Structure 1
Amino acid sequence: MAKQQHKPWGGVFEGDVDPRVERFSESVSFDHRLYAQDIRGSIAHARMLAETGMLSADERDQIVAGLEEIGHEIAAGTFEFKQELEDVHMNVERKLTERLGDVGRKLHTGRSRNDQVSTDFRLWIRDAIDRTDQLLANLQRAFVDRCDRDHGIILPGYTHLQRAQPVLANHYWLAYTEKFGRDRERLAECRRRVNQLPLGTAALAGTTIPIDRRHVAAALDFEGVVANSLDSSSDRDFAIEFAFVLTLIAEHLSTWAEEWILWSTAEFRFLRLPHAYCTGSSIMPQKINPDVLELIRGKTARVVGNLTSLLVLIKGLPLAYNRDLQEDKPRVFDSADTVEASVELAAAVVTGAELNRPAIHERLERGYLDATTLMEHLIKVGVPQRTAHEIIGKLVGVAMKRDVPLAKLELAEFQAAHPALDQSVYTVLGVEQAILAFSSEGSTAPAMVAKQVALWKERLGLEP
Structure 2
Amino acid sequence: MAKVLWSGRLEEKPEAEAFAFQASISVDRRLALDDIRGSRAHAAMLGKQGIIPGETAEQLDRALEEIARELESGSLEIDPEAEDIHSFIEGILTERLGDAGRMVHAGRSRNDQVATDFRLYLKRRVPEVCDEIRLAAEALLDRAEEHAGTIMPGYTHLQRAQPVSLGHQFCAWCAALVRDLGRFSDALVRLDECPLGAGALAGSGLPLDREKTARDLGFSRPSLNSMDAVADRDFALELAAAAAILMSHLSRFCEDVVIWASEEFKFINLAESWSTGSSIMPQKKNPDFAELIRGKSGRSAGNLVTLLTVMKGIPYAYDKDLQEDKEALFDSLDTVYSCLRMFRGMMASAKFNTDIMEAACTGGFLEATDAAEYLVKKGLPFRKAHEAAALVVRDCVDAGQRSIGERTLAELKKRSEYFEADLFGAITPAACVAARNLPGGPAPEEVRRQIAALRTEVRKRI
Instruction: Classify the TM-score, shorter chain.
Output: over 0.9
Residue 37 of structure 1 corresponds to which residue in structure 2? Answer: 34
| 1:79 aligned residue (76, 81, 86) | 76
Residue 434 of structure 1 corresponds to which residue in structure 2? Answer: 432
Of 328-337 and 417-426, the range deviating more from structure 2: 417-426
1:282 aligns with 2:290: no
Residue 405 of structure 1 corresponds to which residue in structure 2? Answer: 403
Q: How does 1:156-235 map to 2 (within 5 A)?
A: 156-235=153-232
1:332 aligns with 2:320: no
* Amino acid of the structure 2 residue aligned with 1:145: D
For the residue of structure 1 that corresponds to 2:432, the secondary structure is: helix
Paired with 1:340 and 1:168, the residues of 2 have a C-alpha distance of 29
| 1:153 aligned residue (145, 150, 153) | 150
Paired with 2:338 and 2:303, the residues of 1 have a C-alpha distance of 16
1:47 aligns with 2:19: no
Paired with 2:310 and 2:264, the residues of 1 have a C-alpha distance of 44
Paired with 2:424 and 2:355, the residues of 1 have a C-alpha distance of 24
Deviation by residue 1:119-163 (Cα, 9 ceiling, x = unmatched): 011111122210110001000110111133223211100000000
Q: Where does structure 1 lack aligned partners over 5 or more consecutive residues?
A: none
| 2:117 aligned residue (101, 107, 120) | 120
For the residue of structure 1 that corresponds to 2:340, the secondary structure is: helix
Over the matched positions of the two proteins, sequence identity in percent amounts to 39
Paired with 2:17 and 2:448, the residues of 1 have a C-alpha distance of 64
Q: Where does structure 2 lack aligned partners over 5 or more consecutive residues?
A: none
1:270–1:58 distance in 2 versus 1, CA, 3 Å: same
* Amino acid of the structure 2 residue aligned with 1:420: Y
Deviation by residue 1:62-95 (Cα, 9 ceiling, x = unmatched): 1111111111222233334345541000000010
After superposition, the CA RMSD in angstroms is 1.6
Q: How does 1:336-415 map to 2 (within 5 A)?
A: 336-401=333-398, 402-415=400-413
1:140–1:207 distance in 2 versus 1, CA, 3 Å: same
Paired with 1:323 and 1:457, the residues of 2 have a C-alpha distance of 44
1:254 aligns with 2:251: yes
Of 20-29 and 261-270, the range deviating more from structure 2: 20-29
Displacement of 1:435 after TM fit? 1.1
For the residue of structure 2 that corresponds to 1:224, the secondary structure is: coil
Paired with 1:61 and 1:286, the residues of 2 have a C-alpha distance of 67
1:461–1:80 distance in 2 versus 1, CA, 3 Å: closer
1:208–1:461 distance in 2 versus 1, CA, 3 Å: closer
Paired with 2:288 and 2:13, the residues of 1 have a C-alpha distance of 51
Contact 1:125 1:239 in 2 (8 A): no
| 1:20 aligned residue (13, 17, 21) | 17
* Amino acid of the structure 2 residue aligned with 1:408: E
Contact 1:22 1:83 in 2 (8 A): no
Displacement of 1:458 after TM fit? 4.5
Contact 2:67 2:76 in 1 (8 A): yes
Contact 2:153 2:360 in 1 (8 A): no
Paired with 1:371 and 1:152, the residues of 2 have a C-alpha distance of 21
Contact 2:243 2:332 in 1 (8 A): yes
Displacement of 1:391 after TM fit? 1.1
Give the number of aligned pairs.
459
Paired with 1:88 and 1:55, the residues of 2 have a C-alpha distance of 23
| 2:448 aligned residue (447, 450, 453) | 450
Contact 2:4 2:87 in 1 (8 A): no
For the residue of structure 1 that corresponds to 2:255, the secondary structure is: helix
* Amino acid of the structure 1 residue aligned with 2:188: R
1:142–1:84 distance in 2 versus 1, CA, 3 Å: closer
Residue 59 of structure 2 corresponds to which residue in structure 1? Answer: 62
Paired with 1:16 and 1:276, the residues of 2 have a C-alpha distance of 53
Displacement of 1:457 after TM fit? 3.9
Contact 1:205 1:230 in 2 (8 A): yes
Contact 1:81 1:91 in 2 (8 A): yes
Residue 309 of structure 2 corresponds to which residue in structure 1? Answer: 312
Q: TM-score, normalised by structure 1?
A: 0.96
Displacement of 1:430 after TM fit? 1.3
Contact 2:187 2:238 in 1 (8 A): yes
Paired with 1:174 and 1:56, the residues of 2 have a C-alpha distance of 60
1:318–1:137 distance in 2 versus 1, CA, 3 Å: same
* Amino acid of the structure 2 residue aligned with 1:422: E
Displacement of 1:456 after TM fit? 3.1
Q: TM-score, normalised by structure 2?
A: 0.96
Of 128-137 and 383-392, the range deviating more from structure 2: 383-392
For the residue of structure 1 that corresponds to 2:366, the secondary structure is: coil
